[in-house]
């Protein structure tokens, strides 16, 4: 029996009783689960005993929205709104299929940095360009299996030509360029659902239950209705998550009006029957009051990606309105190209701070317990995993993070939960466990040779950069039109103010673009 007893630690359980308030307890782990929480527990024969004095234990953090694909683009782009940025990070033209070996290496690098910062579960919306196949998906699954992390791994799908998912651009781009984009092959709904059934068969519940497949229609404007409805129906067969980008930017708010006759994207999804408690919206920024009511009524979760939303200038999620409506919130880093970090603790602090400037009533600002809930049990709930992870409770899987509270980050030791959100950056982590197995010990990964992985990645970096430079040059052709579209949408969506006035001025003086 693989058994561990941690004695005399301060524990943030995130359960319904103590929630985010630390309590001094002993914690017993056996066969990958929490089996006993109490005071003065006696060690059992053969049990590994860990002295938890001076330690703070939390549930493992859940990154409720990320893209491991983007790891190769970390630190590459800046000062681009999402739609323009996508033309480069998700190249519309060009791009060669990535080999499974490079995908495995990329995924390991991403998982290494994630887990060393306390993330034990990834909701990884994997997209490969120009398309994903089962060997590529298997490479991601294999990497996560070997490193010991828990993950929902997707087949991300866009089955409409990208230029037809945006307002205005088909009128402004050269006809030949529009034809070139439209000529690229796209999957039918039936083909994607067949792919997903095979992915479920191969991977769902693998690695002792740590790996699950999830469906990921990219966004309602990027997918056909039969695919959106079919994905929701298929998810019920496997009790799996459906992960979808909704209303991330001002342009997407305009898109709903353009594509669906004045209905919002949320309204459209609701009316076609594509929502359920298994659905997670990534972002959910530009929502109306009616949208929030529909989201709450359907039991949909929303992943808040504060750093990415700020870097891409997308906007600020209505935190308190969601909380008031009872909508479940998770926290996500988004991809490393739009946030430049897989470290969820940075998102936790940014979430706690950001809404203090967007909400004048300080009694409605985010609380530390709310932020910790979103980073743990809320993220687990969004991934249809809250029955097994997200809190420290008897019977749940033993995913946890141990922090040394004798470090400078926890001095002078006032409220540990406040130190955790506002003062700690992951440098005090001494141990990470997933399924009761130690995966990080004193800053080093235990299940793989991280030095070997980094050395192999360094060898690939020149070739990676060469391909990125080639693709950037090809996709530069979209930049003027996408810039014009962004500012046109901003001028139309935002009230008259200094920023929207500038956007209108830019559009008026660049009509020739």
pLDDT in tens, 27-79: 999 999 999 999 999 999 999 999 999 999 999 999 999 999 999 999 999 99
Query: Cα(14)–Cα(59) distance, rounded to whole angstroms?
Result: 7
In a domain, 149, yes or no: yes
Helix 134-147 with 100-115: angle, nearest 10 deg: 30
Mean pLDDT of the chain: 92
CA angle 144, 188, 224 (to 5 degrees): 95
- pLDDT for 122 beyond 80: yes
pLDDT (average), residues 440-446: 97
β-strand 23-30 against 429-434: which pairing, if any? unpaired
* Those residues with Cβ within 8 angstroms of residue 126's Cβ, 6 or more apart along the chain or in another chain: 67, 68, 69, 132, 137, 140, 153, 154, 155, 156, 216
The number of distinct structural domains making up the chain is 1
Q: What is the pLDDT of residue 94?
A: 66
Of 168-177, 282-291, 477-486, which range is least confident? 168-177
Cβ–Cβ under 8 Å, residues 401 and 9: no
Q: What is the pLDDT of residue 503?
A: 37
In a domain, 211, yes or no: yes
Query: Cα(309)–Cα(317) distance, rounded to whole angstroms?
Result: 9
Cβ–Cβ under 8 Å, residues 308 and 334: yes
Residue 509, number of CB atoms within 10 A of its CB: 9
Place of tokens 């530069």: 476
In a domain, 430, yes or no: no
Place of tokens 């409220």: 415
- pLDDT for 284 beyond 60: yes
pLDDT tens per residue across span 229-273: 999 999 999 999 999 999 999 888 888 878 888 899 999 999 999
Range of the domain at 265: 61-382
Cβ–Cβ under 8 Å, residues 347 and 306: yes
- pLDDT for 439 beyond 60: yes
Residue 170 CB-density burial (10 A; 0-12 exposed, 13-18 middle, 19+ buried): middle
- pLDDT for 406 beyond 50: yes
Write the CA distances from 261 to 237, 254, 435, 490, integer angstroms: 32, 11, 49, 19
In a domain, 486, yes or no: no
β-strand 61-66 against 23-30: which pairing, if any? unpaired
In a domain, 84, yes or no: yes
Looking at residue 339, what DSSP letter applies?
T
Query: Cα(438)–Cα(304) distance, rounded to whole angstroms?
Result: 29
Cβ–Cβ under 8 Å, residues 195 and 187: yes
Task: Give kind and range of the element (H or E) at residue 386.
Answer: none
In a domain, 364, yes or no: yes
In a domain, 500, yes or no: no
Query: Cα(398)–Cα(59) distance, rounded to whole angstroms?
Result: 8
pLDDT tens per residue across span 189-221: 999 999 999 999 999 999 999 999 999 999 999
Q: What is the pLDDT of residue 497?
A: 32
Query: Cα(400)–Cα(254) distance, rounded to whole angstroms?
Result: 42
In a domain, 485, yes or no: no
Alpha helices in 91-168 (DSSP H): 100-115, 134-147
CATH of the domain at 285: 3.20.20.140
Q: What is the pLDDT of residue 430?
A: 98
């Amino acid at each position: 029996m693989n058994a561990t007893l941690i004695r005399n630690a301060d524990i943030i359980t995130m359960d319904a009783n103590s929630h985010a308030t630390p309590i001094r307890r002993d914690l017993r782990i056996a066969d990958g689960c929490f089996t006993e929480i109490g005071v003065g527990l006696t060690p059992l024969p053969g049990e590994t005993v860990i002295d938890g004095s001076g330690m703070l234990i939390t549930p493992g953090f859940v990154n409720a929205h990320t893209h491991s694909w983007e790891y190769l683009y970390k630190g590459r782009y800046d000062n681009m709104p999402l739609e323009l940025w996508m033309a480069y990070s998700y190249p519309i033209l060009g791009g060669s299929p990535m080999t499974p070996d490079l995908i495995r290496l990329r995924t390991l690098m991403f998982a290494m940095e994630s887990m060393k910062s306390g993330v034990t579960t990834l909701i990884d919306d994997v997209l490969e360009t120009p398309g994903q196949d089962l060997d590529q998906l298997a490479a991601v699954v294999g990497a996560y299996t070997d490193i010991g992390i828990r993950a929902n791994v997707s087949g991300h799908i866009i089955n409409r030509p990208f230029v037809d998912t945006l307002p205005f651009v088909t009128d402004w781009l050269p006809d030949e360029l529009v034809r070139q984009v439209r000529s690229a092959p796209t999957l039918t709904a039936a083909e994607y659902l067949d792919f997903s059934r095979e992915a479920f068969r191969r991977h769902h519940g693998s690695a002792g239950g740590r790996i699950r497949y999830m469906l990921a229609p990219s966004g309602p404007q990027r997918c056909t209705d039969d695919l959106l409805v079919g994905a929701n129906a298929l998810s019920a067969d496997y009790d799996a998550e459906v992960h979808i980008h909704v209303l991330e930017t001002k342009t997407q708010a305009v898109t709903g009006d353009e594509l669906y006759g004045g209905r919002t994207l949320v309204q459209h999804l609701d009316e076609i029957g594509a929502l359920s408690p298994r659905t997670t919206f990534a972002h959910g920024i530009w929502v109306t009051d009616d949208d929030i009511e529909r989201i709450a009524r359907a039991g949909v979760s929303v992943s808040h990606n504060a750093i990415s939303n700020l870097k891409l200038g997308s906007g600020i999620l209505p935190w308190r309105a969601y909380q008031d409506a009872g909508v479940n919130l998770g926290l996500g880093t988004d991809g490393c190209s739009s946030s430049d970090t897989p470290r969820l603790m940075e998102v936790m602090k940014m979430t706690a701070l950001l809404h203090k400037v967007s909400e004048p009533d300080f009694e409605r600002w985010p609380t530390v317990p709310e932020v910790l809930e979103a980073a743990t049990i809320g993220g687990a709930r969004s991934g249809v995993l809250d029955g097994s992870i997200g809190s420290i409770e008897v019977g749940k899987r033993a995913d946890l993070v141990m922090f040394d509270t004798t470090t400078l980050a926890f001095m002078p030791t006032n409220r540990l939960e406040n130190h955790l959100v506002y003062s700690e950056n992951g440098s005090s982590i001494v141990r990470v466990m997933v399924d009761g197995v130690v995966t990080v010990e004193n800053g080093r990964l235990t299940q793989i040779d991280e030095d070997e992985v980094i050395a192999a990645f360094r060898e690939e970096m020149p070739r990676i950069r060469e391909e990125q430079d080639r693709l950037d040059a090809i996709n530069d052709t979209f930049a003027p039109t996408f810039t014009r579209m962004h500012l046109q949408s901003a001028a139309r969506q935002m009230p008259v103010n200094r920023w929207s006035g500038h956007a209108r001025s830019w559009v008026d003086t660049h009509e020739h673009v």
